[in-house]
Amino acid sequence: MLNLIVSLIAGMFLGYFLRERKKINLSKVTLGAIVVLIFSLGFSIGSNNELLSSMPRVGLNALVILLLAVFFSVVLVKTTRKMVKVE
């Protein structure tokens, strides 16, 4: 967790100090890194036999709970952010 915070803040400082430089386009680099990240996430899912075999057994219950949790989260975020006026 700490290394995530450190790299985020280090990036912010560097960005802040290079602000007046020419435009820097990072979208291709970011996309490449996202692809690598998601691939390795998939890899850890695919190599987890226990997870893969237990999913169908609890699948329906899991889906119901998940969809309700997500639904209420979205509704609440949307209403509260309008109430306190966060753009």
Partner 1 sequence: MIKYILVALALGVAAGYLNNNFGNVITNSWVSGYLFDFSLIFLLFIMGFAFGLDKEAMAKMRKTGLKILIFPFSVAFGSILGGFVGGLILGINVAASMAVSAGYGWYTLAGPMVGQLFGAEFGVLGFTVNFLRELLTITTISLTVKIDKYAPIALGGATTMDTTLPIIVRYSGSEALITAFSSGFTLSIIAPFTIIVIATLG
Taking the complex as a whole, the smallest distance from the CB of residue 71 to partner 1 amounts, in Å, to 6
Taking the complex as a whole, the smallest distance from the CB of residue 45 to partner 1 amounts, in Å, to 5
CA distances (Å), origin 69, targets 1, 15, 50, 74: 25, 37, 24, 9
Taking the complex as a whole, the smallest distance from the CB of residue 28 to partner 1 amounts, in Å, to 11
4-33: contacts with partner 1 (CB under 8 A): 4, 7-19, 24, 26, 29-31, 33
CA distances (Å), origin 11, targets 7, 37, 38, 39: 6, 18, 21, 24
State phi, psi for 22 to the nearest 5 degrees: -60, 160
Q: Which residues bind partner 1 (CB under 8 A)?
A: 1, 3-4, 7-19, 24, 26, 29-31, 33-49, 51-52, 54-55, 57-59, 61-78, 80-81, 84, 86-87
